[in-house]
Amino acid sequence: MKGMMMQRPLRISDILEFGAEQYQHGEIVSVRTEGDIHRYTYPEAAARTRQLANGLLAHGIELGDRVATLAWNGYRHFELYYAISGIGAICHTINPRLSPEQLIYIVNHAEDKVLFLDTTFVPLIAAVKDHLPKDLTYVIMSDKDKMPKDMPFEALCYEDLLEGQPATIDWPEFDENTACGLCYTSGTTGHPKGALYSHRSTVLHAMMIIVMQTSSFVEGSKVLPVVPLFHVNAWGLPYSAPLSGLSIVFPGSALDGPSLFKLMDDEGVYSAWGVPTIWMGLMAEIQSQGRMPKGFKDVVVGGSAAPRSLIKAFEEHGASVSHAWGMTETSPVGSHGVLPAWMADAPLEEQLDIKQKQGRRCFGVEFKIVDEDGKRQPHDGKAIGELFVRGNTVVSGYFNNEEASAKALDPEGWFGTGDVASIEPGGLLVIQDRAKDLVKSGGEWISSIDLENLAMAHPAISNAAVIAVPHKKWDERPILVAVAAGAEKPDLAELQAHMEEHFAKWQLPDDVIWVDALPLTATGKVSKLTLRQTFADYVHPDER
Amino acid sequence: MKGMMMQRPLRISDILEFGAEQYQHGEIVSVRTEGDIHRYTYPEAAARTRQLANGLLAHGIELGDRVATLAWNGYRHFELYYAISGIGAICHTINPRLSPEQLIYIVNHAEDKVLFLDTTFVPLIAAVKDHLPKDLTYVIMSDKDKMPKDMPFEALCYEDLLEGQPATIDWPEFDENTACGLCYTSGTTGHPKGALYSHRSTVLHAMMIIVMQTSSFVEGSKVLPVVPLFHVNAWGLPYSAPLSGLSIVFPGSALDGPSLFKLMDDEGVYSAWGVPTIWMGLMAEIQSQGRMPKGFKDVVVGGSAAPRSLIKAFEEHGASVSHAWGMTETSPVGSHGVLPAWMADAPLEEQLDIKQKQGRRCFGVEFKIVDEDGKRQPHDGKAIGELFVRGNTVVSGYFNNEEASAKALDPEGWFGTGDVASIEPGGLLVIQDRAKDLVKSGGEWISSIDLENLAMAHPAISNAAVIAVPHKKWDERPILVAVAAGAEKPDLAELQAHMEEHFAKWQLPDDVIWVDALPLTATGKVSKLTLRQTFADYVHPDER
């Protein structure tokens, strides 16, 4: 028997209209490519978004059309999110750190009709334009009087698209499963694959992450998404913020420690979300200034595992750190390392034991771990297996890619994450490693993440990665690639001594190689793939 | 184009399993009809709920069957909520304050298969049993050794239903629009009408109210639903609590001020939700003891408008009061009077101006106000009209009642609430009155609620109601029915003098009638209908 309740589609446009009506004092502050700071309220954002939507309609954009963006975090990018999906088109966010080949591939694969770009990226597009669709319209996200001189290709001005358009609109109604956004994974092998989000998945995700950590969503406080709008919807913040009355501070392109510190300090940012590398930069500035940015209390870390030492440093400065886990294919937040309430008074080291984990699954996301035969493993905190996920915010396949779609789900309909994890009886997720980053030595698995964490706790090391190298006897052995914090570069014996308190001897790295910096992926994670390529000819000490 | 995201039904069983896994320290504390206090954790609650579900299946309960409850707020009632809906049956909560005729009507109309009841209600059922379905199974919610002696009818014991049943279950999957709960409105005219909730509407509602007021949902804190489980799902708290990691304190049947005070004080309840009459009783106890119950900070008032004086009294004792609006047909929370963040430092009186209003609509609920011709009125804070609502948590009709269903929605598909309201430009809802409680004097409307609020601000008055009485010249005129706070009973002239600062002279009541108590409806609201009946023969002073 069916309930007798109204059926209303979950729609993204309803989020913005809700925020604009209910949080009229809510503000969006943006560092612009023009160089200044722009600020306006939610009602003003909504009015411009409606104008933009009318402009897109006037330009002939229809339900299901892909409209691409290549831009930093700013108010125009925010407007595009809502205007494009509001009219039933699909907002295709492009990561500017992709290689030119990948960029060409995804614009053609997505069959984008329009490409919106920040002035920053004009040279990038000029270089690849001949390989992009001939009928693609380019729109520069700039004031009219700040449009680049000597544009190397024909382009409209964003503000012209809005001009003369009414600031009212009847947002169209459509099935809540209608596609709203497209984000390609910066896959390390093969072509990028597109996750195609729906209005339903996006609205549920926006509510989910608020329900998960209510303390991060305090009406009237300011959130700063360091995580880019071009990277999995900035983890859903552009949707959750208007829903809960947070103001948003968009940092533009300057994500170095000093720039972030100043912006956060000036604006009184309460909560900021980003990847570990960003927080390392900010922490260096915090330590240099000897204080936190004003009002900064809530650090959300995602993208890759945060080193314990980094979490500890923020906690000791009075902020609360939580650790989110997810991926492009999971919208992205799958779990959130909220400290359980009953741990609130535990000693810091015990809290860190919990905070290092990837935490609780969000309501609506289910986890299972399976062995190599696909057999479910117990959630006992001991068994380790590949993590599979299921839920309304998880992809069922990839956009226009039958081959990848066919392989995306297991026979039970769960998505394989490629992460290797254990799950504690209380439900806490512990990511052991990316499946391909595990080191298999003499038939036993060694977690590269655990070794890296411990290495980074050494005062002489500012960043570190562990990779597997071939070994005749043991198949694989771990080596440590490290970035020195200062002049001191301790030798292997000292580092092994530092680590052997927590690891068995056979688990310790067999070599240390000092580098100036670690290579990063397009989403700011340490690129193990690049490291493995760099050290492809490395010979293990035993075999020299 | 559709998104490529998994389709998972929103299910109530997932809420309990989530809470049991993620909030293992979450507790449910219940004052039992057996007289003692019962406490257990979410995992223990889930285990017993699964046993109960297996017991219901063994008893032959199937998808869509109605299973009724007649019970106070306690852990067994909580288990029934999840077990019944978890297996796809429909939890029909019965309000024990209904008249015997209404009770007979709804049990027969719902075609209940099983009726679960607290021992308290054995005499009530014994008196009407001959008029209930012959094949109805009765189950007493009691320990085995506390089963009533000399039962006047045949009944099972709740614990026998669980005994020997496995504590594991694969909750069935079904369409998210499957019915899960049935709650009859205690209609003032005609037969009660049944609102038939769905899994989708219930899960969305549970998330909605957390998103609406994140500060009420602080993991590890305790919430006390004074609002009964037999009244619109206790405003959704049994679902929102496990979702957000709140512990629940169920007060059983003793809802008087001293009993509530002691329970809240003993347990350290942070948040409590109930109707104004309950809070009046508690405030009397607070004033008598000169202190608040330990840790009590968050008062949520709903069911009917809270007098300003009551809100003020709690605020002055350090609690934050918010005012929810809704009805059986809206799941029930439609709006929530959260104080906007930018008002946080405003003087108390200005805050009270806001807190007296019914507040912000929940995300997912839309409001419109219309005049007598159904024409939309502006949301300008001035125009007044009947409030219509739309959303996934709003009924589309009534269970097995074609006549009422046909009249439920307007031609645009919105539900008419029968409330008269204005809506401010910032979206705040202000309920002026129930349509039928407005006083129409000389063609002008007078709000009975506003007059009552002001009357109750007089120190000599503890409770008050304004009703319309017939008048030859003006059609209707307002009179005040009041309960004295002490021995003093001021005369009409003094009360008018007290009120005329805020009202035009022609809006003031023409008479005051002192009574010992005001009649209440089955849901604890002042019954204007009963008052109008009581004063049916009243003659206005002008016509005596």
| Strand blocks (E) in B7-109 | 27-31, 37-41, 66-70, 90-93
Q: Rounded to the nearest 5 degrees, what angle is found at the Cα of B517, between the Cα atoms of B514 and B519?
A: 115
Cα–Cα distance list, B308 to A28, A106, A108, B406, B515 (Å): 35, 60, 62, 38, 22
A233: left (phi over 0), alpha (psi -120 to 50) or beta: left
Give the pLDDT of residue B143. 96
Angle between helices B12-22 and B42-58 (to 10 degrees): 140
Coil, strand or helix at B314? helix
The answer to whether the CB atoms of A6 and B344 lie below 8 A apart is: no
Give the pLDDT of residue B449. 84
Say how far apart CA A257 and CA A199 lie, in whole Å: 35
Question: Which tokens belong to B478?
Answer: 């307002």
pLDDT digit string, tens, across residues B190-247 = 789 999 999 999 999 999 999 999 999 999 999 999 999 999 999 999 999 999 999 9
| Amino acid letter, A283 | M
Closest CA to B143 of B128, B162, B121, B130: B162
Cα–Cα distance list, A89 to A7, A60, B3 (Å): 22, 11, 11
Which ranges in B323-409 belong to alpha helices (H)? 348-355, 402-408
| Strand blocks (E) in A308-446 | 320-326, 333-336, 360-361, 365-370, 385-391, 415-423, 429-434, 439-441, 444-446
Q: Which residues of chain B neighbour A396 with C-beta distances below 8 Å?
A: 4-7
Taking the CA of residue B437 and the nearest CA in chain A, the distance in Å comes to: 28
What is the pLDDT tens value at each position of chain A, 544 positions in all? 999 999 999 999 999 999 999 999 999 999 999 889 999 999 999 999 999 999 999 999 999 999 999 999 999 999 999 999 999 999 999 999 888 999 999 999 999 999 999 999 999 999 999 999 999 999 999 999 999 999 999 999 999 999 999 999 999 999 999 999 999 986 556 789 999 999 999 999 999 999 999 999 999 999 999 999 999 999 999 999 999 999 999 999 999 999 999 999 999 999 999 999 899 999 999 999 999 999 999 999 988 788 899 999 999 999 999 989 999 999 999 999 889 999 999 999 999 999 999 999 999 999 999 998 889 999 999 999 999 999 999 999 999 999 999 999 999 999 999 899 999 998 999 988 877 788 888 877 788 888 888 899 899 999 999 999 999 888 889 999 999 999 999 999 999 999 888 888 888 999 999 999 999 877 777 888 889 889 989 999 998 8
Give the pLDDT of residue A74. 98
Taking the CA of residue B424 and the nearest CA in chain A, the distance in Å comes to: 10
Give the pLDDT of residue A450. 84
Say how far apart CA A462 and CA B78 lie, in whole Å: 52
The answer to whether the CB atoms of A6 and B392 lie below 8 A apart is: yes
A-B contacts (CB, under 8 Å): 208
Q: Which residues of chain A neighbour B360 with C-beta distances below 8 Å?
A: 22
Interface predicted TM-score (ipTM): 0.90
pLDDT digit string, tens, across residues B401-418 = 999 999 999 999 999 998
Number of residues that this document lists for chain B: 544
Indicate which of B201, B363, B379 best probes the interface with A, i.e. most A CBs within 10 Å of its own CB: B363
Is A440 marked active-site?
yes
Give the pLDDT of residue B293. 98
Nearest CB to A2 within list B10, B178, B220: B178
Q: Which residues of chain B neighbour A23 with C-beta distances below 8 Å?
A: 340
The answer to whether the CB atoms of A363 and B15 lie below 8 A apart is: yes
pTM of the model as a whole: 0.91
Is A342 marked active-site?
no
Give the pLDDT of residue B42. 98
Nearest CB to B18 within list A21, A363, A392: A363
Give the pLDDT of residue B188. 54
Is A33 marked active-site?
no
User: Does residue B446 contact residue B507 with C-beta atoms inside 8 Å?
Assistant: yes
Taking the CA of residue B8 and the nearest CA in chain A, the distance in Å comes to: 5
The answer to whether the CB atoms of B8 and A391 lie below 8 A apart is: yes
**Annotated active-site residue in B79, B159, B267, B329:** B329
Q: Which helix (H) or strand (E) holds A156?
A: strand A156-157
Give the pLDDT of residue A25. 95
Closest CA to A518 of A253, A282, A280: A280
Q: Is the pLDDT of residue B187 over 70?
A: no
Sign of CA dihedral B365, B369, B375, B380: negative
Q: Which residues of chain B neighbour A360 with C-beta distances below 8 Å?
A: 22
Give the pLDDT of residue A442. 80
Give the pLDDT of residue A186. 67
Residue B86 neighbours by CB under 8 Å, 6+ apart = B11, B12, B13, B16, B49, B53, B169, B171
pLDDT digit string, tens, across residues B248-270 = 999 999 999 999 999 999 999 99
User: Does residue A190 contact residue B15 with C-beta atoms inside 8 Å?
Assistant: no
Say how far apart CA A324 and CA A328 lie, in whole Å: 13
Residue A83 neighbours by CB under 8 Å, 6+ apart = A49, A50, A52, A53, A55, A56
Is A185 marked active-site?
yes
pLDDT higher for A478 or B475?
A478
Q: Is the pLDDT of residue B125 over 70?
A: yes
Confidence tier at B529 by pLDDT (50, 70, 90) = confident
The answer to whether the CB atoms of B245 and A215 lie below 8 A apart is: no
User: Does residue A395 contact residue A389 with C-beta atoms inside 8 Å?
Assistant: no
The answer to whether the CB atoms of B427 and A21 lie below 8 A apart is: yes
Q: Whose structure tokens read 């896959």?
A: A187
Confidence tier at B474 by pLDDT (50, 70, 90) = confident
Say how far apart CA B22 and CA B244 lie, in whole Å: 9
The answer to whether the CB atoms of B363 and A196 lie below 8 A apart is: no
Cα–Cα distance list, A481 to A494, B22, B289 (Å): 15, 37, 67
Say how far apart CA B361 and CA B332 lie, in whole Å: 12
B132-166 in b/e form (b: 16+ CB < 10 A) is beeebbbbbbbbeeebeeeeeeebbbbbebbeebe
Question: Which tokens belong to A285?
Answer: 């500035």
- Mean pLDDT, residues B304-314: 90
The answer to whether the CB atoms of A179 and B22 lie below 8 A apart is: no
**Annotated active-site residue in A111, A424, A445, A474:** A445
Closest CA to B83 of B114, B126, B104: B114
The answer to whether the CB atoms of B4 and A180 lie below 8 A apart is: no
Give the pLDDT of residue B502. 80
Say how far apart CA B393 and CA B386 lie, in whole Å: 19
User: Does residue B527 contact residue B520 with C-beta atoms inside 8 Å?
Assistant: yes
Q: Which residues of chain B neighbour A397 with C-beta distances below 8 Å?
A: 4
Say how far apart CA B278 and CA B257 lie, in whole Å: 7
Say how far apart CA B209 and CA B235 lie, in whole Å: 9
Closest CA to A95 of A242, A195, A208, A207: A195
